[in-house]
Amino acid sequence: MGDYDKGLELLRLLGGVEDPAVLQLFESVQATDFGAEAVAFVYGGVYQRPGLSLAQRQLVTVAALEALGYAEAQLRFHRTAVTNVGGDLAQDDETTRRLRLIAVHTAKGGVAPELADVLREARDAGELREAVEAILHLAVYVGFPAALNALGAARTLTSDEHRERA
């Protein structure tokens, strides 16, 4: 699903550096092959999906990492990345608020009843697709199980939306 060259180009843009520290980390533990696969999948694949802008992806990532509370180096990187892609950490429109809440609830396991509430808000605003994309994006930051749990909450709303259209 990924492309290393596209991923490396994006990683350099996000970090604002030619030689990303994450690649140095993989190299230092003799896992350059894993580093290349990670860059290809995450930055060359997941980040290339439609549905969210780069700035939205970074704001969602920052919200999730803040909720996790233990990834300070990654949080610093992604806070910088927000501005490097033209975003604003102080952005507070309704769409961003919903995406941030989805990120927080997904990071905390994707099972909070509040997640269903904010997903319903997103659906009602015509933004359920963006909400689902945010959850998919977060799988690489908060873990696959948490993202699957959050997708389970979204599934009900997606099913409701399909029934309403029929």
What is residue 158's predicted lDDT score, i.e. its pLDDT? 74
What is residue 156's predicted lDDT score, i.e. its pLDDT? 85
What is residue 159's predicted lDDT score, i.e. its pLDDT? 65
What is residue 12's predicted lDDT score, i.e. its pLDDT? 97
Q: Alpha-carbon distance 7 to 82, whole Å? A: 17
What is residue 2's predicted lDDT score, i.e. its pLDDT? 65
Which parts of the chain sit beneath pLDDT 70? 1-2, 159-166
What is residue 94's predicted lDDT score, i.e. its pLDDT? 98
What is residue 165's predicted lDDT score, i.e. its pLDDT? 57
| In contact, 112 and 71? CB cutoff 8 Å | no
Class of residue 102 by CB neighbours under 10 A (exposed 0-12, middle 13-18, buried 19+)? buried
What is residue 161's predicted lDDT score, i.e. its pLDDT? 55
